[in-house]
């Protein structure tokens, strides 16, 4: 898991070949004014999901994990808390939806909580379980799905 300011994304280019393309694509729109939805990143198997969500309390968190995709979650507005746990610390018998590349874990034990403020991003790898969208109020965020 990585947490940093979006202006520092270039420091991570060597970690994945698509990060430079992702950063260039994020600069093509005014995401505060864009319509929520899915945006394909041309020439890649990556895409952006622009989301407007109502945050929920940490106690109501459902954690998730992915096998085929890395999540880059970039907060545009609102303060979001995201939970993190190592995937290998959780039970193996968690149902996994292969079509949507998502395993959901209600009431998962969360090892750490991080506050992700506007202008910051978090990257979650397939070895990371994450519990997004916690906090109070409305959150506008971008979730970039990057092939692992």
Mean pLDDT of the 81-108 span? 87
Query: At residue 121, does pLDDT exceed 90?
Result: yes
Give buried/exposed letters for 28-46 (b at 16+ CB in 10 A, else e). Answer: eeebeeeeeeebebeeeeb
Q: What distances in angstroms separate CA 67 from CA 4, 15, 145, one per listed residue?
A: 23, 17, 11
pLDDT at 56: 95
pLDDT at 13: 96
pLDDT at 37: 98
Residue range(s) defining the domain that contains residue 72? 2-147
Question: pTM value?
Answer: 0.94
Number of domains observed in the structure of the chain: 1
Look up residue 133 and give its DSSP letter.
Answer: E
Half-sphere exposure of 72 (CA within 13 A, CB side): 26
- CATH at 80: 2.60.120.370
pLDDT at 100: 93
Mean pLDDT of the 23-42 span? 97
| Residue 11 confidence class, pLDDT cut points 50, 70, 90 | very high
Residues of the chain with pLDDT > 90, as a percent, come to 88
């Amino acid at each position: 898991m990585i947490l940093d300011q979006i202006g520092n994304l270039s420091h991570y280019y060597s970690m994945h070949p698509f990060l430079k393309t992702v950063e260039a694509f994020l600069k093509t729109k005014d995401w505060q004014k864009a319509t929520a939805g899915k945006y394909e990143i041309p020439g890649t198997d990556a895409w952006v999901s622009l989301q407007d969500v109502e945050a929920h309390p940490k106690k109501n968190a459902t954690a998730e994990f992915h096998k085929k995709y890395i999540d880059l979650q970039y907060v545009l507005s609102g303060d979001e808390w995201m939970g993190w746990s190592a995937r290998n610390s959780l039970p193996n018998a968690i149902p996994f939806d292969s079509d949507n590349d998502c395993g959901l874990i209600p009431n998962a034990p969360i090892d750490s909580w991080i506050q992700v403020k506007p202008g910051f991003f978090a990257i979650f790898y397939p070895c990371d379980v994450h519990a997004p969208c916690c906090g109070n109020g409305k959150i506008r965020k971008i979730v970039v799905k990057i092939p692992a």
